[in-house]
């Protein structure tokens, strides 16, 4: 009799614990996590249009900016190379750029696939070590400054033991199917007094978003 009563008490308790654990897991899966990558259309005019024109993003979307979710203390922040330097940005401020404060509908979110989750901590730590370093206005690798895609590329490469995680491509500043540079890029590099780095290795938000090492996810909350 005692065994039966004990079973009647313990079994419902175990079932309740399992349900709570399941709900907790579901809630975690539906929120931003460290290592998530965010892809955004900045609508910054001609330069953004030129970036989007040469590389299509996942699901045919246009992206001109990308960033990564990192954990700082008890909070999640966005680390990104934008403006004049690598910086930490509040999640809500990042979303405001896309008029996306209340719903994660105008941002595309990618999560590193399960096989590569072990790289996230190292990639986050490397990216955080670059906060305050200058923005790479020339869009060149290995020059002591960073553009948005380069920061993600180098962070995951470092975490991956120096092996490429995201693929590099020859960069182009020419109009699709034409042998002429976008006028906006001609003016841009003239102002920098630098040659256009046509064909140099690099990557952009669109190419990263199509990586087979990422899974596009839909979230219900930040």
pLDDT at 102: 52
Please check whether residue 51 is in contact with residue 204, taking contact to mean a CB–CB distance below 8 angstroms: yes
Residue 76 has pLDDT above 50, yes or no: yes
**How many other β-carbons are positioned within 10 Å of the β-carbon of residue 208?**
26
User: CA torsion sign, 192 to 42 to 168 to 181?
Assistant: negative
Average predicted confidence (pLDDT) for the chain: 86
Residue 105 has pLDDT above 80, yes or no: no
93 part of a folded domain: yes
Inter-CA distances, 72 with 53, 65, 90, 115, Å: 35, 22, 11, 24
Please give the model's pTM, rounded to 2 decimal places.
0.83
51 part of a folded domain: yes
* Angle (deg, nearest 10), helices 148-159 and 120-128: 130
User: CA torsion sign, 169 to 173 to 176 to 177?
Assistant: negative
25 part of a folded domain: no
Instruction: Decide which of 66 and 47 is more confident.
Output: 66
9 part of a folded domain: no
Q: 7-63 pLDDT, tens per residue?
A: 455 544 444 444 444 333 343 456 899 999 999 988 778 888 899 888 889 999 989
Total structural domains in the chain? 1
Q: Give burial (CB, 10 Å; 0-12/13-18/19+) of 27.
A: exposed
CATH number at residue 78: 3.90.1720.10
pLDDT at 100: 56
162 part of a folded domain: yes
11 part of a folded domain: no
7 part of a folded domain: no
Q: 118-164 pLDDT, tens per residue?
A: 999 999 999 999 999 999 999 999 999 999 999 999 999 999 999 99
179 part of a folded domain: yes
What is the Cα 43 distance to its own chain's centre? 17
Domain housing 75: 32-217
Inter-CA distances, 217 with 30, 112, 190, 209, Å: 9, 10, 40, 12
Please check whether residue 136 is in contact with residue 142, taking contact to mean a CB–CB distance below 8 angstroms: no
Residue whose C-alpha is closest to residue 212's, from 165, 168, 179:
165
């Amino acid at each position: 009799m005692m065994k039966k009563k004990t079973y009647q008490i313990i079994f419902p308790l175990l079932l309740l614990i399992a349900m709570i654990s399941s709900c907790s897991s579901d809630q975690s899966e539906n929120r931003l996590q460290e290592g998530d990558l965010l892809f955004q259309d900045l609508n910054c005019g001609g330069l953004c249009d030129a970036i989007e024109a040469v590389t299509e993003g996942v699901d045919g979307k246009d992206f001109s900016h990308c960033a990564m979710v990192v954990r700082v203390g008890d909070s999640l922040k966005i680390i990104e190379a934008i403006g004049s330097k690598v910086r930490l940005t509040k999640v809500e401020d990042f979303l405001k750029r896309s008029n996306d404060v209340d719903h994660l509908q105008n941002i595309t979110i990618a999560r590193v696939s399960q096989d590569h989750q072990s790289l996230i901590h190292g990639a986050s730590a490397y990216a955080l070590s670059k906060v305050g370093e200058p923005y790479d206005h020339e869009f060149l690798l290995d020059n002591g400054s960073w553009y948005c895609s380069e920061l993600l590329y180098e962070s995951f490469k470092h975490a991956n033991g120096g092996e490429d995680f995201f693929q590099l491509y020859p960069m182009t500043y020419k109009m699709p199917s034409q042998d002429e540079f976008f006028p906006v890029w001609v003016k841009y590099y003239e102002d920098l007094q630098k040659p256009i780095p046509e064909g140099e290795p690099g990557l952009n938000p669109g190419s990263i978003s199509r990586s087979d090492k990422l899974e596009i996810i839909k979230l219900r909350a930040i």
